Structure 1
């Protein structure tokens, strides 16, 4: 068995995973509040290649065989804020997520503060999910049409009348959050959010994604070159094996 052939094939599979992640980051780089997907590589022991087949596995004569292991993750570093001057656009400064309720009644969490007002005067996300207040209910505005002001602490006023306090939640370990469509995250089983008591919100701003497209393009070049190198390695090993078979045949 030529272990180098399997190592190169494993590397090709890992590089394909990396390329898919980079492509997703580039595609979503303009999505408000998007969090960059990351890929890390580590070596995974996979048995030993022994110089003396009579020696048991794990003996000093064995040579460790290592394969790349792909570890995926999410970068939760905040993106830059961009002014929009729209009353219902809100950006979080620092830690925390907006809490929303989906049609099935489940909760989700997002950094995308591009909100709208539904026909019944309820504050919703771009996909129509309800934005929740600190008490866990929907945020509903008054029919008088007064100007809406969202303060840095999350309190919402319509004219001089207080309407609600926006729910901003945080988690002890963001790495345990599960990404969902529409820029949402849901906690893993057993995780519970805690309210951010002193949030820092900016009305009339949106948080950009934390993806740097130029960095992702550089990664695509690195992936392409590494992929070609492993393909050449496989071709070379295959030719060597064919020569050995021809000589033995």
Structure 2
């Protein structure tokens, strides 16, 4: 009976984690280039079940009566790096990457940004799909959070005036190539880790040659489908409530066992 309480409670915790992920997806449905997450469950390992004080049985000296699994737990939070819809904005500072999805496995590509580490003032490289850029006071191309957009020569500095970006990320101004966007394409997206602020880091994945297309004057929308998220939320809530009722039923039975059966003389 106590085992049943643990099983129901642990399932409720797992469902709560998935509900948190769904809520975060819905909160970022309008965040530029946001990539949705999902929870992947995994079962606890099977364990042998034995009868207590039954090791002397001639037919079953081990007292083993089978195996059981206590519950499921959150194995990982998986991110879908599928392409969001491209929306034309007409703003020359808005850039988007159209991934090359001709292969069997999607290989998402990202803009590279430099983030200053406040502890030692070193510049760390991270990646983002959000191409809503602007110019700062030093005429450097930066993200909405002020992180420097990196090119092949380092932080990209532009002169006052118009500029164009071709499909390969070459930035041209006054008829000359100023710099080329440093775009990282990853063959294995499972090695990427979200950091917040629409940034990801590479956890040792292989960087492939960029085979996508850069388009200027476009933003990539999030790949969150609100209808799908609402359906998942309803399913999770029902599973949570079912475990809650099972837990309450077991708790009521345990209460009777303690308060009523224990009084019988």
TM-score over 0.5 (shorter chain): yes
Greater shift, 46-55 or 12-21, is seen at 46-55
In 2, distance between residues paired with 1:23 and 1:197? 33
1:75 deviates by: 1.1
Change (3 A) 1:109 1:9: same
What is the total number of aligned residue pairs between the two structures? 244
Residue equivalent to 2:261: 247
The residue aligned with 2:227 is 214
For residue 14 of structure 1, give the secondary structure of its aligned residue in structure 2: helix
Secondary structure of the 1:106 match is strand
Q: Summarize the Cα distance change of 1:187–1:68 in structure 2 as closer, same or farther, 3 Å threshold.
A: same
Aligned position for 1:124: 142
Which consecutive unaligned segments of at least 5 residues does structure 2 have? 100-107, 118-122
The match for 1:85 among 90, 109, 129 is: 90
The match for 2:246 is 233
Unaligned ranges ≥5, structure 1: none
Change (3 A) 1:131 1:219: same
Aligned partners of 2:140 and 2:156 also within 8 Å: yes
**TM-score of the superposition, structure 2-length normalised?**
0.85
- Structure 1: distance between partners of 2:174 and 2:63: 78
Alignment check: 8 A CA contact 1:96 1:169 kept = yes
For the residues of structure 2 that align with 1:236 and 1:35, how far apart are their CA atoms?
Answer: 40
Contact 1:122 1:139 in 2 (8 A): yes
Please state how far the C-alpha of 1:79 moved relative to its aligned partner.
0.9
Q: 2:26, 2:181 → 1: CA distance?
A: 31
Kept in 2, the 8 Å contact 1:49–1:65? The answer is: no
Q: Is the CA contact (8 Å cut-off) linking 2:26 and 2:229 kept in structure 1? A: yes
What corresponds to 2:194 in structure 1?
179
* Pairwise CA RMSD: 2.1
